[in-house]
Chain A
Amino acid sequence: MNLLPLVLYAAAVVVYAIHFAKRQPSVGRTATTLLLLGVLAHTFVIGMQTMEVRHVPFSNTSTAVSSFVWMLALSYLYLEVTTDERAMGVFIVPILVGLQTIPAFNPGVDYRDPVLDSPWFWVHVTSLLFAYATFALAAMLGLTYVLQFKEIKKKHLGYFYTRLPSLHVLDAMNSRAVVVGWLFLTIGVVVGVVWAAQALALTPNNSNLRAMSLQDPKIFIAILTWAVYSFAMFARKTLGWTGRRAAWLSAVGFVIVLLNFLPVSYFVTTSHTFQ
């Protein structure tokens, strides 16, 4: 069932790429429509799963990835509608396709440990997924900034120069995305800590909860992510790290996020694998 959104996202990638190359407004509108249809189909899928298991499905990695993709798609659509700027689509939508392959081909049953039955858990996961989606946007804004910066600096005005928004706009949007992402990351982490402490008091023998500590790779890397983005904000404000430096920092941050999200969740962590 996760296949339909994947197909629509993939179709949107193709049309966004054509729009990027040809710059025809009608093609751009088609791309947006496809993406919107993808989001609607995805909403339907997540809604059906919710009714099936009677909670929003993001307790295992596969369903969490699906929710993340959905949020990233929504965030990007919001960005596109508010800025009327479609050039970023060709950079963002491929991430949707890449990640959506995981739930599409490995759906996984969202069985949920009763210990997770708390509104705090919901806030924890939603905040973090939204933070990650925002960091993905920031990273892609940074990437396009660097691509265009290089062209202008080296005086080879070429492919990207004619297609991307100005450096100033890319930098400002990157900055805003990092701030919003950082805010939700902070909320997610704090809520997680509070909820874990509460839950541990109620079910002291839960092995997952007992593993919640800084030594757990997933938690450690989440804190590292928080440190990287905190530094990015601090450096921008006080050290004047704008432009390329800020772009690289947000790219590094997102690579860490992805590492934490996929390989670490699948293979290493002990605290966050509720079965």
Chain B
Amino acid sequence: MTLILLGVSHRTAPVELRERLDFSSRDLGGAVQALALRPSAAETVVLSTCNRSEIYVVSSDAARAREEVTGFLSEYHSLPESVFTPHLFSHDNEAAVRHLFRVAAGLDSIVVGEPQILGQVKDAFQAAAEQHRTGPMLSKLFHWSFLVGKRVRTETGLGEGAVSVSFAAVALARKIFGQLNGRRVLVVGAGEISTLTAQHLRANGVGEILVTSRTPAHAEALASSVEGRSVPWDDLAQGVAVADIVVTATGSQRPIITRAQIEAVTGRHRRDPLFIIDIAVPRDVEASVGDIEQVFLYNVDDLQTIVQENLSRRSSEVERAEAIVAEEVAKFGVWHRSRGAVPTIVALRERFDRIRRSELNRLDGKLTGLTPEAKARVDEVTRLIVEKLLLEPTEQLKGLPDEETQVAYTEAINRLFRLRESDSLSPVDDGAAEVTPADRRRK
């Protein structure tokens, strides 16, 4: 059994191609189902975000599985293979494990450490599990990846600090106001970043959101998208007076909020802080407004600087996160090899037990004089001997340090005990779950 990963990501494919290969999440189940029609994959998970489309399969025939997945991608998205194959990346086994762990940790994201990806990985697994397309291998792998994602987030600063202008603005607001519940927001001018900021503020539980714009229709549209209220442009000064947070992004050539204006409505001593986020270029707010005691004025450059600092702080955490991923990949490898040894162990036990039973049968005539209890005792004793003999080899096989050693050991055991020829219960035809020694050699 081989774990195979095929996919495109922002590292290998341009956005146009990624869009065409995207499985929107409501369709994940369907995609998994369609892929299930192809016979070679025993387990399948489809992971799709705006930056990546990745297909994880477990198969006993790696080459065929790869062909089938490529064919599926082409058919499902109605794209000739030649269009995307140059952008397709492929990892097997340990490399695929490492890739998934890095993805879950946020190390493979465009914005390193971004939090959404872990949820998307969970969704992908969930969708596949609902279609009964996850078996022992992918279940273990994906659950393990959730833990890796969580570990990296709690043990490193990889996800700390806002890395977009709108998030940075919200983080600042929280540092000034604590809980944002009940805080009044004024949005002046409806642009992309001001809309995003207003949405983030709404998601953080602010109270009323007032929107004003020179074009009332724009104000209306933004207000309705954030459950706000649009107010006439002429009420701007009044709005500033009642607001805790002001977001401005107009195309005005001259400042629309001045120090004199603010001091006229709130007096010299502001009781409560006022946080002004000026995203406009040229700026909407006079620089001297920032000199008023309780006013915190941030323009787009200030926020960009914060974002840059956070990004560089995150990248300094990458090394620690990679170390965690490496550690977990190694641990997963140990688990996986212990699973890989299972067929050999089972075959070995079968063989020993068969010998034990045939010897007991042979002796049956000589044991006729024994009471049923004594016979049961003999049976028990021989069973215990076999158990004890196999205990140490079993432990050793499960704990082998690497793939190569395992292949060598299982091969040796197969030969020494002639497991495959003599046993009718050969592990080779158990294609559903376990990795057989033969598969391993092929890799």
Kindly identify which residue among A157, A167, A168, A241 contacts B309, using a CB–CB cutoff of 8 Å: A157
- Which residue of chain A lies nearest to B275 when distances are taken between CB atoms in the complex? A152
**Is B178 a contact partner of A242 (Cβ separation < 8 A)?**
no
Q: A157-B309, A242-B294, A244-B293 are in contact. Are A152 and B269 (CB under 8 A)?
A: no
A168 touches B306 (CB 8 A): no
Which of B177, B267, B293, B305 is close to A166, meaning CB atoms less than 8 Å apart? Answer: B177
Tell which of B273, B290, B306 touches A167, judged by Cβ atoms closer than 8 Å. Answer: B273
Contact A240 B269 (CB under 8 A): yes
Which residues of A sit under 8 angstroms from B178, Cβ to Cβ? 165-169
Please tell me which one of the listed residues B272, B294, B298 contacts residue A155 in the complex, with CB atoms under 8 A apart: B298
Q: Counting CB contacts under 8 A, is A161 at the interface?
A: yes
A220 to B175, CA, bound (A): 40
As a 0/1 sequence over residues 70 to 83 of chain A, the CB contacts with chain B under 8 angstroms (1 = contact) are: 00000000000000
What's the Cα separation between A243 and B294 when bound, in Å?
8
In the complex, chain A residues whose CB is within 8 Å of the CB of B270: 240
Bound Cα distance A124, B27 (Å): 74
Contact with A along B291-322 (1 / 0, CB 8 A): 00110101000100110010000000000000
CB proximity to B under 8 Å, residues A123-167: 148, 152-153, 155, 157, 161-162, 165-167
List the B side residues contacting A202 at CB < 8 Å: none
Cα A153 to Cα B274 in complex, Å, equals 11
CB-CB nearest in chain A for B313: A162
In the docked arrangement, what's the CA distance between A153 and B172, Å? 11
B177 touches A243 (CB 8 A): no
Q: Across the interface, do A242 and B296 meet the contact criterion of CB distance under 8 Å? A: no
B269/A241 in contact, CB under 8 A: yes
> A171 CB to closest chain B CB, in angstroms?
9
Report B-chain residues with C-beta under 8 Å of the C-beta of A243.
273, 293-294
Chain A residues 238-254 with CB under 8 Å of chain B are: 239-245
CB–CB A168/B293 < 8 A: no
**A63 CA to B306 CA, complexed, in Å:** 50
When A166-B178, A167-B176 are in contact, do A155 and B293 touch as well, CB less than 8 Å?
no
Determine how close the nearest CB of chain A comes to the CB of B309; give it in whole angstroms. Answer: 7
Q: Which residues of chain B have C-beta atoms less than 8 A from A239's C-beta?
A: 269
Instruction: Give A94 Cβ to nearest chain B Cβ, in Å.
Output: 25
For the complex formed, measure the closest distance between the CB of B113 and the CB atoms of chain A, giving whole angstroms: 15
How many residues on B have C-beta within 8 angstroms of the other chain's C-beta atoms?
Answer: 23
**Cβ of B174 under 8 Å from chain A:** yes
Query: Residue B271 at the A interface, CB < 8 A?
Result: yes
Q: Are B174 and A166 in contact (CB under 8 A)?
A: yes
Contact A240:B271 (CB < 8 A) given known A153-B296, A155-B302, A157-B309: yes
Give the Cβ gap from A142 to chain B, nearest Cβ, in Å: 15
Check A242 against B272 for contact (C-beta < 8 Å): yes
Q: Which residue on A lies nearest to B305, using beta carbons? A: A155
Q: Which residues in A have their C-beta under 8 angstroms from that of B296?
A: 152-153
Q: Knowing A155-B305, A240-B271, A243-B293 touch, does A166 contact B298 (C-beta < 8 A)?
A: no
- Cα A166 to Cα B175 with chains together (Å): 4
**Distance of B152 from chain A, by nearest CB (Å):** 16
Rounded to whole Å, the gap between the CB of A155 and the closest CB of chain B is: 5
- Cα A241 to Cα B177 with chains together (Å): 17
Residue ID in chain A nearest B171 by CB atoms: A157
Q: Across the two chains, which residue of chain B brings its CB closest to A171?
A: B273
CB contact list, B256-278 vs A, under 8 A: 267, 269-273
With a cutoff of 8 Å between Cβ atoms, the chain A residues found around residue B160 in the complex are 162
| B304 CB, nearest partner CB in chain A, Å | 11
Q: What are the residues of chain B within 8 A of A153 when measuring CB–CB?
A: 290, 296
A152 touches B176 (CB 8 A): yes
Q: How far is the CB of A21 from chain B (nearest CB, A)?
A: 13
- Determine whether the beta carbon of B302 is less than 8 Å from that of A152: no
Q: Which residues of the other chain, B, contact A244 by a CB distance below 8 angstroms?
A: 293
Q: Are B305 and A242 in contact (CB under 8 A)?
A: no
Look across to chain B and name the residue whose beta carbon is closest to the beta carbon of A161: B175
Asked if B176 contacts A168 (CB within 8 A), the reply is yes
* Chain A residue contacts of B176, Cβ below 8 A: 152, 166-168
Residues of B contacting A242 with CB < 8 Å?
271-272, 294
CB distance from A58 to the nearest CB of B (A): 37
Per the bound structure, the CA–CA distance linking A240 and B305 in Å amounts to 32
Residues on B with C-beta less than 8 A from A166 are 174-178
Q: Complex Cα distance A241/B294, Å?
A: 10
Give Cα A209 to B369, complex, Å: 112
Q: Which residue of B lies closest to A239 (CB)?
A: B269
- A242 nearest in chain B by CB position: B271
Chain A nearest Cβ from B57, distance in angstroms = 40
Chain A residue with Cβ nearest B301: A155
Most chain A beta carbons < 10 A, residue from B271, B298, B305, B309: B271
Rounded to whole angstroms, the CA-CA distance of A191 and B177 in the bound complex is 39
Nearest neighbor of A165 in chain B, beta-carbon distance: B178
Q: How far is the CA of A161 from the CA of B175 in the complex (A)?
A: 8
Kindly report which residue of chain B lies nearest to residue A158, judged by CB atoms: B309
What's the minimum C-beta distance from A198 to chain B, rounded to whole angstroms?
Answer: 44
A30 to B176, CA, bound (A): 29
Which residues of chain B are near A155, meaning CB under 8 Å? 298, 302, 305-306
- In chain B between 36 and 56, which residues have their CB closer than 8 angstroms to a CB of chain A? none
13 cross-chain CB contacts under 8 A: A152-B172, A153-B290, A153-B296, A155-B298, A155-B305, A155-B306, A157-B172, A157-B309, A165-B178, A166-B174, A167-B178, A242-B294, A245-B269
Which residues of B does A touch, CB under 8 Å?
Answer: 160, 172, 174-179, 267, 269-273, 290, 293-294, 296, 298, 302, 305-306, 309
What are the 3 A-B residue pairs with the smallest beta carbon separation, nearest first?
A: A240-B271, A166-B178, A168-B178
What would 12 more interface pairs be, CB under 8 Å, given A157-B172, A167-B176, A244-B293? Answer: A152-B296, A153-B290, A166-B174, A166-B175, A166-B178, A167-B175, A168-B179, A240-B269, A240-B270, A242-B272, A243-B294, A245-B269
